[in-house]
Chains A and B, each alone.
Chain A
Amino acid sequence: MNAYVGTPTSRVDGRAKVTGAAKYAGEFAADRLLRGFVVEATIPRGRISRLDTSEALKVKGVVDVLTHAHRPPLADKDDAWKDEVAPEKGSPFRPLYDDRIKFSGQPIALVVAEDWETAKFAASRIRIDYEEEAFATDLESERGKAAKVDQPHKPRGDAVAALARAAVRHEADYVIPSEHHNPMELYATTAVWDGSGRLAIYDKTQGVQNVQKFLCSVFGKKPDDLRVISPYVGGAFGSGLRPQYQVVLATMAALALKRSVRVVLTRRQMYGLGYRPMTIEHVALGASPDGTLDAVTHEAIAVTSCFEDFSRNDTGWGEQLYKSPNSRLSHKLVHLDVATPCDMRAPGAASGVCALECAMDELAVALKLDPIELRLKCYSDRDQSEDLPYTSKQLRQCYARGAEAFGWARRNPAPRSMRDGKELVGWGMATGVWEALQMPVAVRIVLTANGHAEVSCAASDIGTGTYTIVAQVAADALGLPIENISVRLADSTLPQAPVEGGSWMAASSAHAVLGAAEDIRQELARLAKAMPDSPLADLDAAKVTLVDGMIASNDTNGAAVSIADVMHHSKLERIEKEKLNQFAEDKSHARNTHSAVFAEVKVDEQLGVIRVTRVVSAVAAGRILNTKTGRSQIMGGVVWGIGMALHEETLMDHRFGRIMNANIAEYHIPVNADIHDVDVIFVDEPDDRINRLGIKGLGEIGIVGVPAAIANAVYHATGKRIRRFPITLDKLLE
């Protein structure tokens, strides 16, 4: 039954969020709660030669100052610091571990006081001397030191030779700056002693079980010693996949001082966490005059820290999108004196597809072909990296539906040919692609005789809507109204879930709910058959449905018994089932989501001011569980894409190795006035192979392709090709 799945159901946590009742990590109260304030390093590389806390300790209300020289014991092996998302290669950062400084903004002390103002004031009284060392933070000046990373992509054919003989070629560097996630909520942890000698750690994270295991390993604790809880997360976008340092500091202080402690980072301090790494994307395309691609080469050169190798798939997406007999891809890293980058919305794809799709637009111009026509000409029905068909791929429909909604047919292809008063008008388009991943997740359902069910799982809801889709799927599977479903998430003691990321949680949690609900249904059917004079006595237990509070036969005879009666007769107050769902391994097909993005920009010819006046995003992502929250996710991705195209850039002063705009006024993100019409179209994409419900996930696909569509529109409006993002007005006026 599908009373809820596929409908625009409002968020089940909506009321809590609009009334202020929803509590986030830094908002949980505790008796005699201490407050911590972090002190950061101001140099990018060297060691601490003196760290004098004596003045800070004299401030009334200060309880202690933790430093590398004054702290509880910490694990001394790299493996103990590797969380489930840590890069394979490297030595994870250890806060307050020793006197080494590895990046500017690194935490070097935690002042703990009776209240926040006192801790903050006392932090200003700490004296630090450094032995500074030579450092490097500039990717472009260090480009020559780039070292190749092993990647799964195998070269096909001879791309270099094919490129050399191609009739039409396009080759360029596209530069994507480092970007910071800047979720609205500040990173925060409240570590609370629960009265029985255990710690309840309220943390801002995308994975409570990841953090729980990490803390146990770092502090040498047993699983029962501490529990990690994160019922609401004020945005994360990848920044909360790995445990962040504030959770280590809060736990450390709680253990050292035997008091509950809260640590909240400042906005500036959040620039010492992970970020989307700056990349130089070198793309070369070779084609015959009719637009048949013959060669694709794509090399990404990315920033990482000096202590961990973080890399993602920037360059492989052309393998999924465009047929080419020759292809060569590579990813290189430059080690700099900066924090380790991390996943940020559509990691790899947001940057790599941006470059690829700008390059495709430039190739279309060189070929004098419509950009959609070029893409259809090169359309690949197979994933060329493994030569596999797709479980489903309705990208052609995305192009068609998106173009129609946008009015693409009315586009004059000549740059600077369209105007609206004093503004130049540009129309551009691009393709988006992401993976449809799915992971093992376990869910517990407790059905009570009053017709309510509690569904619980350790998964997070970072604003993505997990609470709501879990409730929808459970309501349908159990045949109950959604008001009768309560969902508990993000507590490390609940059934197993991975970090919420990669767009895998919708499919993964939904099928886990189905699995547990299936066990409940079978149990109810067994009990119903056993009831005296049961109308379902002869029934095949596999052929019943739970609907409207009844156990009903799937046969046409209409036999049914109420769930309440069955439980009453069986003298059961509750039925509890927990089940781990694992997806069968199937390497016979590629699984991806796709989109076609169309953007209109208006550019003030004199001032260079760019406005994105319209975006149409046509998405093929299997079955959409919730058309309301799903649309919001794509819309949010489009807003991120507008930010990536026009606004976002973490600016480093390379003389000091320090971020210059570590705040949310000078690091520009889109504001309300920047966002105009955003039209989201979900293209029908039935997929009975990928999983039972045909779900693919939506968290990442919304951003992919958007920056390129806007850059291509800016070219169409102005005739200027800006390959260094973000596209700011100074670059247009140069």
Chain B
Amino acid sequence: MADLTDQIPERIAISLVVNGVRRTLEVVPWTTLLDALRDRLQLTGTKKGCDHGQCGACTVLVDGRRVNSCLTLAVMKDGAEITTIEGLAKDGTLHPLQQAFVDHDAFQCGYCTPGQICSAAGLLAEGRARDADEIRELMSGNLCRCGAYPNIVAAIEQAMSRS
């Protein structure tokens, strides 16, 4: 039988600017950005709900744009600026979206929440959503099994009106 040791590829050194801090790490080419964040950098705020780009729980901002980190290979983002849920609050003050999610009870179990909030931050930056219907449509890549959707929309509307 063939020796399979050779089938594990060499690790590749990359650097990521995560929440403003440069981090260097070595990953195999198949390591996703999500696993790099969770397993290698211990940033477990970014969640794994499906690993197939179906649920949005892993949403982070890469160079300001929202992406599914489970569908992104870490090696492809060498040098990129990554913002995760841990990087949104500044000096202990919640980001307006984080505060709005608390105010409107826009979560229950909290597992989809980091992805929802990062996705909403990306949405606000895109400037595409003008009303509740558009928020609903443009937030539909982020599943919430607790069914907090109306509160998520209300929270995003609050943050939009204050930004």
Contacts and interface: CB of A to CB of B under 8 A. Distances in A.
A61 B7 CA distance: 12
Given A117-B30, A635-B148, A184 B111 contact: yes
A327 B7 CA distance: 67
A234 interface: yes
B78 interface: no
B136 A15 contact: no
B46 interface: yes
A55 interface: yes
A632 B86 contact: no
Contacts of A640: 147
A115 B8 CA distance: 12
A18 B150 contact: no
Contacts of A26: 48
B49 to A, nearest CB: 5
Contacts of B1: 54-55, 58
Contacts of A121: 7-8
Nearest to A234: B111
Contacts of A663: 50, 52, 54
A672 B49 contact: no
- DSSP majority for the B interface? loop
B44 A20 contact: yes
Contacts of A185: 47, 49, 109, 111
A682 interface: no
A17 interface: yes
A481 B149 CA distance: 31
B109 A118 contact: no
A674 B146 CA distance: 14
- What class of interface size applies to chain A in its complex with B? 35 or more
A17 B113 contact: yes
Contact of B39 (A17, A115, A636): A115
Contacts of A629: 105, 108
A464 B85 contact: no
B150 A635 contact: yes
A17 B110 contact: yes
Interface string A612-634: 00000000000000001101110
Nearest to A19: B89
B52 A665 contact: yes
A633 B108 CA distance: 8
Contacts of A16: 110
Interface residues of B, number: 65
A504 interface: no
Contact of A55 (B4, B43, B48, B51): B4
The listed residue with most A CB atoms (<10 A of its CB), out of B42, B108, B110, B153, is B110
A309 B61 CA distance: 48
Interface in B35-66: 35, 38-39, 42-52, 54-55, 57
Contacts of B52: 267, 663-665
Nearest to A57: B4
B145 A11 contact: no
Interface in A49-66: 54-55, 58-61
A60 B8 CA distance: 8
Most chain A CB within 10 A, of B84, B114, B150, B151, is at B150
A12 B1 CA distance: 57
Nearest to A628: B105
Residue among B3, B45, B142 with max Cβ neighbours from chain A (10 Å): B45
B82 interface: no
B163 interface: no
Interface of B: 1, 3-5, 7-8, 28, 30-31, 35, 38-39, 42-52, 54-55, 57, 84-86, 88-89, 94, 98-99, 101-103, 105, 107-114, 117, 135-137, 139-153
Interface of A: 10-11, 13-24, 26-27, 29, 54-55, 58-61, 115-118, 121, 125, 181-186, 232-237, 264, 266-267, 462-465, 628-629, 631-633, 635-640, 663-665, 669-678
11 contacts: A11-B105, A14-B101, A14-B102, A15-B94, A20-B44, A185-B109, A637-B147, A671-B141, A672-B136, A672-B152, A675-B136
Given A55-B1, A664-B143, 19 more contacts: A14-B101, A17-B113, A18-B98, A19-B98, A20-B85, A20-B86, A54-B1, A58-B5, A116-B35, A117-B28, A184-B145, A234-B111, A236-B109, A267-B52, A664-B49, A665-B52, A672-B139, A672-B149, A675-B149
Ranked nearest first, the 6 interchain pairs of A and B with the lowest CB-CB distance are A20-B45, A639-B147, A234-B111, A463-B109, A17-B110, A463-B108
